[in-house]
Amino acid sequence: MTLSALLYVALGAFAGGVLRYGFTRILPSPICTFAANLVGSLAIGLAYGALSLGAGEEIISPLCIVGFAGGLSTWSTFAKELGEMVKEKRYWAFIQYLFWSLGLGIAVAWLGATWIAF
């Protein structure tokens, strides 16, 4: 890994982390986690779409995928919230949150990649 790649990761993670923090200030949990993960999935889709068009992998991958999406999305918090729903016997909320998070996450990543490549 080069120094420039590390700087791209750091810059992307900073931007993603700041956006994630902003989400926590305006959205309640688990909506905050849901929104952050969807925006992160969209960012990954857009980045992969750009890569498929020949965009510079040495910048796009560390900056957008590893840095920004990694700093923004939070699958560990998602798992914690799912665990809390089970512990609280909120099984219907668990099923809905799991379904919508995974389903829409995959969908927006695909839409982002398709939109850029289109």
The one-letter amino acid code at 38 reads L
C-alpha 13/C-alpha 63 separation (Å) is 8
The token duo for 76 is: 């560990």
- pTM of the complete model: 0.90
Percentage of the chain modeled with pLDDT above 70 = 99
Binding site for Na(+), residues?
70, 73
Binding site, residues?
70, 73
Count CB-CB contacts under 10 A for residue 69.
25
Phi, psi angles (nearest 5°) of residue 55 = -65, 155
User: 33 burial class (0-12, 13-18, 19+ CB within 10 angstroms)?
Assistant: buried
How high is the pLDDT of residue 1? Answer: 82
Helix (H) or strand (E) holding 116: helix 91-117
Per-residue pLDDT tens over the stretch 17-36: 999 999 999 999 999 999 99
Domain boundaries, the chain: 3-117
The token duo for 22 is: 């902003």
Per-residue pLDDT tens over the stretch 41-62: 999 999 999 998 888 889 999 9
